[in-house]
Structure 1
Amino acid sequence: MHDLTRPDGTLPQDLHVSRRTAAGLFFAGYALAAVSAEASPITTPADGLLIEEVLIPNGVTGQGGPGPLPAYVARPNKAGRHPAVIVVNEIFGVHDYIKDICRRLAGLGYVAVAPQFFYRSGVNLPALTDRQQIMAVVSQASPDQVDGDVRAASVWLKGRPFANPARIGITGFCWGGQVVWRAAMVDPDIRAGVAWYGQLKDVVDRAGELKAPVLGLYAGKDQGIPLSDVERMRAALKAVGRKGSDIRVYPGASHGFHADYRASYDQAAATDGWSRMLAHFRAHGVG
């Protein structure tokens, strides 16, 4: 975690780091722009797990650029090849909530990998409190660039002696939810995906491109994703015959209902969604 760089507090420009230290962009704490003082986040211990910060080759050399893709990895501390899940963050980057998701999955026998998709900016996103500044960074990550990073992560997993190359899934939250839909369209190594309240307007017309089944988990009271978009995607999946894909809506929940560090957390919806995610992975060869 970065220390305060000024007596009156850290400013965004103070949070830019050198490309050489990109792998250290793992914030110690929860995203400052969203954490609720009243929240009681789930904390999963690392007992029996191996935790690593790695650099994943993604075709970027680092000569005048950001270098390879940093990622947080949690995996079982035992021999064998384990199923793997790529974990895609919200707009806030990789912070304690995303790392805890990785540890929860690792405790269930998965290799969980959370890439730092916004590392090219050199900004420690979870430390920012201004959403406009956050979105300015997020907007720099193009769909093609992000899809390429997902592909780099799946290729990296296939080459690890501890990961089963035939059992790779992906899950993502908010911004990461849409990444899941796209990954299931373009990454041939993804066996199944689970999208938590990811935007649909840019992917609904591409439902026919899905190569892997996706479970979408959505909120009935989401102010940013209208139920009309959810119904359009549900109809599109049916029209193209994607029987393995499905959508579940939680009528009383709001956007971010799984994020236990936020005021939007809905324990019942989060628990049910987690169970459905695991069942979806098992049903489609990721488990």
Structure 2
Amino acid sequence: MTTLTRPDAVPEPADFHLSRRMAVSMFFAGYALAAWSAEAAPITTPEGGLVIDEVLIPNGAPHPLPAYVARPKAKGRHAAVIVANEIFGVHAYIKDICRRLAREGYVAIAPDFFYRSGVNLPALTDIKAILPVVQQASVEQVDGDVRATSAWLKAQPFAKPGAIGVTGFCWGGAVAWRAAMTDPDVKAAVAWYGQLKPLVARAGELHAPVLGLYGALDQGIPQTDVEAMRAALKAAGKPAEIVVYPDAPHGFHADYRDSYREADAKDGWARLLRHFRANGVS
């Protein structure tokens, strides 16, 4: 439970920040064990020059939404990016993504969308045990958590309320697409290999431009789905671009897995930065 730091009973945004000592057990300290590759050499972004925090976001649930935050130490307001995780939750890779974005000048925040289950997903080694937990997080629930996160960002003195973007990986890629449909505060989104089939019929709901980054060798997202989404976006006249890397599998940005493809990951990251800056998330 978060203890209010002031004598009155009306909470302010600062009341939902946790001390580092209180927060150490909120998130798994390492990489997702179910996907970790012993041969991997994951990127590690240092915390120096950044403010690292773990916060609790009011979202209407009995227990608030935990989130990992990385932001520049520099004073003033910064554009913000919500980072939607893979099925493994907020582990070392997702936290490093936040720090990379913070070094680019962003407030980066990764909500723990699966916290209601009470299961430490990154610590699990069996994908069969992970999937039921992920499936419990409904579309409506997750999209509501995204809106709660953008509302929290708008209340922070270090965030620009009119410059919020979303990026997501794998499971979180679909979250990013939907955020550009359902959250009016989201100005742009970048989806890394998120499932498209359930979203093709909703292409007309997009209100913010989306950049989709996909691999032609992805066994779970066939190119027929990519082409169907492209056609739906064109028919709806919606601002979106889908880039397909011909030699990339699913998870090509995940540098802690053997699916990692360095050149494609770097190109995708550069495109992400350009997309956000070109669409008001800067």
Using structure 2 for the length normalisation, give the TM-score.
Answer: 0.91
Residue by residue over 1:7-57, the C-alpha shift from the partner in whole angstroms, topping out at 9 and shown as x without a partner, is xxxxxxxxxxxxxx9983300100000010000000000110000000000
Structure 2 matches for 1:6-155, cutoff 5 A?
24-60=25-61, 62=62, 67-155=63-151
Secondary structure at the counterpart of residue 162 of structure 2: strand
| Contact kept in structure 2, 1:22 and 1:119, CA below 8 Å | no
| Contact kept in structure 2, 1:23 and 1:70, CA below 8 Å | no
Residue by residue over 1:107-152, the C-alpha shift from the partner in whole angstroms, topping out at 9 and shown as x without a partner, is 1100000000000000110000110110010000000000000000
| Contact kept in structure 2, 1:169 and 1:193, CA below 8 Å | yes
Instruction: Look up the match of 1:227.
Output: 223
Structure 2 matches for 1:171-250, cutoff 5 A?
171-242=167-238, 244-250=239-245
Aligned residues: 261
| Contact kept in structure 2, 1:176 and 1:198, CA below 8 Å | yes
Instruction: Look up the match of 2:275.
Output: 280
Q: Could you tell me how far apart the structure 2 residues matched to 1:191 and 1:266 are?
A: 28
Tell me if 1:260 matches 2:255: yes
Go from structure 1 to structure 2 and tell me whether the alpha carbon gap of 1:23 and 1:186 turns closer, same or farther (over 3 Å shift): farther
Q: Could you tell me how far apart the structure 1 residues matched to 2:278 and 2:227 are?
A: 24
| Contact kept in structure 2, 1:115 and 1:153, CA below 8 Å | yes
Go from structure 1 to structure 2 and tell me whether the alpha carbon gap of 1:23 and 1:152 turns closer, same or farther (over 3 Å shift): farther
| Contact kept in structure 2, 1:106 and 1:112, CA below 8 Å | yes
- Stretches of structure 1 that go unaligned for 5 or more consecutive residues are 1-20
| Contact kept in structure 1, 2:23 and 2:54, CA below 8 Å | no
Per the TM alignment, residue 77 of structure 1 is displaced from its structure 2 partner at its CA by 0.5
| Contact kept in structure 2, 1:23 and 1:71, CA below 8 Å | no
> Aligned letter for 1:224?
G
> Aligned letter for 1:26?
F
- Stretches of structure 2 that go unaligned for 5 or more consecutive residues are 1-21
> Aligned letter for 1:158?
K
| Contact kept in structure 2, 1:217 and 1:249, CA below 8 Å | yes
Per the TM alignment, residue 78 of structure 1 is displaced from its structure 2 partner at its CA by 1.4
Per the TM alignment, residue 157 of structure 1 is displaced from its structure 2 partner at its CA by 0.2
Q: Could you tell me how far apart the structure 2 residues matched to 1:148 and 1:138 are?
A: 16
CA RMSD of aligned residues (A): 1.1
Consecutive aligned runs of 4 or more in structure 1 exceeding 2 Å deviation = 21-25
Secondary structure at the counterpart of residue 106 of structure 1: helix
Secondary structure at the counterpart of residue 68 of structure 2: strand
Tell me if 1:162 matches 2:163: no
Percentage of matched positions with identical amino acids: 72
| Contact kept in structure 1, 2:65 and 2:112, CA below 8 Å | yes
Residue by residue over 1:71-118, the C-alpha shift from the partner in whole angstroms, topping out at 9 and shown as x without a partner, is 000000111000000000000000000000000000110000000000
Secondary structure at the counterpart of residue 114 of structure 1: strand
Q: Could you tell me how far apart the structure 2 residues matched to 1:31 and 1:247 are?
A: 28
Go from structure 1 to structure 2 and tell me whether the alpha carbon gap of 1:23 and 1:153 turns closer, same or farther (over 3 Å shift): farther
> Aligned letter for 1:124?
N
> Aligned letter for 1:253?
A
